[in-house]
């Protein structure tokens, strides 16, 4: 059961959720346009918990030339689970993804 929240707590939670959506949308847009690289996203994930909690599949799918099927295929080849977040990537997985998108 969810805890009872005051109106102020609910408003703050909604504001945080909105900011998270805006930040993720900005990152995906920058990736699509080529203004941001996969390596840049990994660096941001080290400093920002919100970015670190983003699913790898979402980031990979936002890369130019990647779609849903090619993303699933690549993650399967590397051995990355569907629900894996950037925070949960291993060193070798990061290196393979950076190499793929360099």
Per-residue model confidence as pLDDT tens digits over 63-87:
999 999 999 999 999 999 989 999 9
> What domains can you pick out in the chain, each with its CATH number?
38-102 (1.10.8.50)
- Residue 5 pLDDT exceeds 90: no
Q: Which CA distances in Å does 35 have to 23, 28, 39?
A: 15, 10, 12
pTM of the model: 0.84
Per-residue model confidence as pLDDT tens digits over 12-60:
999 999 999 999 999 999 999 989 999 999 999 999 999 999 999 999 9
Which pLDDT does position 75 carry in this prediction?
A: 95
Which pLDDT does position 102 carry in this prediction?
A: 84
Which pLDDT does position 4 carry in this prediction?
A: 87
């Amino acid at each position: 059961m969810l805890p009872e929240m005051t109106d102020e707590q609910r408003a703050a939670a909604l504001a945080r959720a909105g900011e998270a959506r805006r930040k993720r949308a900005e990152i995906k847009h920058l990736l699509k346009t080529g203004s941001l690289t996969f390596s840049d996203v990994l660096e941001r994930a080290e400093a920002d918990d919100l970015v670190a909690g983003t699913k790898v599949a979402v980031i990979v799918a936002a890369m130019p030339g990647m779609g849903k099927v090619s993303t699933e295929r690549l993650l399967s080849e590397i051995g990355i689970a569907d629900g894996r977040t950037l925070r949960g990537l291993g060193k070798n997985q990061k290196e393979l993804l950076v190499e793929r998108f360099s």
